[in-house]
């Protein structure tokens, strides 16, 4: 029962994608890791959820969205003083974003093991910096989790 209580205390990861199937696939991956996930369909929906609703531990965002780009959302969060782990899924390997210790680009198709490694690295970095909106207990709990290994890529 303690594990369930801990999972409920963990803030959700926000999955931002215009494609419903992609959001569901990502949510399934997070469910297997016992990490709660929330969904947004575009940058406006994501901004509303991040700025005015429940806090989130991290953001997984498609490179381009109907109402803007991942870059737009990331810059908005920076402008608001919110630093949290932010992963951009990109179809183009040359896609560039501003340099930031809280930001990573992950090429599609996304491999769940690589996604886990990136998020784990970002969470540990956020915990080490203490300059973030991520709750310290979220980063600590994330680092204590162990995922079920799987080298199966899934398409976003």
Query: Which residue did the predictor score with more confidence, 143 or 26?
Result: 26
Query: Which residue did the predictor score with more confidence, 96 or 84?
Result: 84
Closest CA to 65 of 92, 82, 90: 90
pLDDT score at 150: 53
Cβ neighbour number for residue 100 with a 10 Å cutoff: 11
**What are the tens digits of pLDDT across the range 112-135?**
889 989 988 888 776 665 544 455
Query: Which residue did the predictor score with more confidence, 76 or 148?
Result: 76
Element spanning 49, H or E:
helix 43-52
Helix and strand counts by DSSP (H, E) for the chain? 6, 9
pLDDT score at 54: 74
**What are the tens digits of pLDDT across the range 45-92?**
999 999 887 788 899 999 988 888 998 999 998 888 888 899 999 887
E-state strands within 2-123: 13-16, 37-40, 58-62, 64-65, 68-69, 86-90, 103-107, 110-111
Reading the block at residue 60, the tokens are 């997984």
**What are the tens digits of pLDDT across the range 2-26?**
343 444 356 899 999 999 999 999 9
Reading the block at residue 57, the tokens are 């531990």
Q: How far is the C-alpha of 156 from the C-alpha of 154, rounded, in Å?
A: 7
Which of 30-34, 43-47, 111-115 is predicted most confidently? Answer: 43-47
């Amino acid at each position: 029962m303690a594990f369930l209580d801990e999972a409920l205390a963990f803030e959700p990861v926000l999955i931002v994608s215009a494609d419903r199937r992609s959001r569901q696939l990502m949510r399934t991956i997070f469910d297997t890791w016992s990490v709660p996930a929330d969904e947004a369909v575009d940058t406006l929906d994501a901004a509303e959820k991040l700025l005015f609703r429940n806090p989130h531990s991290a953001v997984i965002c498609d490179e381009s969205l109907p109402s803007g780009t991942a870059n737009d959302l990331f810059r908005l969060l920076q402008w608001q003083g919110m630093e949290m782990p932010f992963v951009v899924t990109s179809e183009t390997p040359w896609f560039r974003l501003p340099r930031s210790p809280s930001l990573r680009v992950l090429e599609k198709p996304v491999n769940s093991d690589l996604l886990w490694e990136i998020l784990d690295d970002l969470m540990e970095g956020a915990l080490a910096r203490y300059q973030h909106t991520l709750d310290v207990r979220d980063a600590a709990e994330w680092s204590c989790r162990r995922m079920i290994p799987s080298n199966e890529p899934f398409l976003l």
